[in-house]
Chain A
Amino acid sequence: MSWEVVLDIAAAACFLFAGLLSLAAGVGVLRFGDLLSRMHAGTKPQVLGVLLGLAGYGLRMRSGPVLWTVLLVALFQLLTAPVAAHMVGRAGYRTGKVSSEGLAVDELTNDLSTAQQDIGPTG
């Protein structure tokens, strides 16, 4: 088996897992019950899915310019996905879209209400 066949098979495997993870991420977004749980589906399997897809693309194309672009996309995906999830979660929290009923422990709501009391009743 030549190198090229080996690389192509590796690329195919990457694409397959990337597809499965993206599918799972999509199903997760649909099935999870609340905003914050959905953000988990949107960060972890989704990010790894994109990374595997990029790896597959790099392995299949095997050229310099493609490799550099792929590296950049992967890096920025890793940097921006958590920030985006954080922003959505934070906005959800502050606009009351997150109910603490479904949570086992909710230390943020506790701390926020303590802070409110410290400031005073009207705020």
Chain B
Amino acid sequence: MARYGMVIDTTKCVGCMDCVVACKTENGTPEGFNRDWINYVVSGEFPTLNMEIRSERCNHCDNPPCVDSCPTGASHVHDVGKVVLVDDKLCIGCKACIAACPYDARYIHPEGYADKCTFCIHRVEQGLDPACVSVCPTRCMYFGDLDDPNSQVSKLLNSRKNHTLIPDAGTKPRVYYLT
């Protein structure tokens, strides 16, 4: 069974927000909410400063605390690609999953259920890339099966220096950033 993940090359990302717009368009994300976003991180001391531009979203963790905390099973790991999804018909809007997520990747949809990035699973099941990946003008985003050693994402992770977000939280995120 596939285990989908995403690899983002921060040395190519220019923070154009095409991925953000594509996501909102593809998924009809309500006004005032975002499933993905850009984080501009500046670190170091002047004059040796470093800026990393990151397109961030739900990390579809291997050890998802949102799924563990959900009292109704609405948050679940999908059969296809082990993607973390929310079943809006089961969600009661208790917000436990939002409190459990160290990445603040979830929000409450105006209709009352928890919502977040789905890795565009409806597109992936048709053999397409997620909307954000498909529109990236610098081709800095890659999507694929992390368990397949011949996939592009696996090859990139094997050959390039990379990191995940808040690894200390122990969630084993599946969105990687190449540096």
User: Do A and B interact with each other, yes or no?
Assistant: no
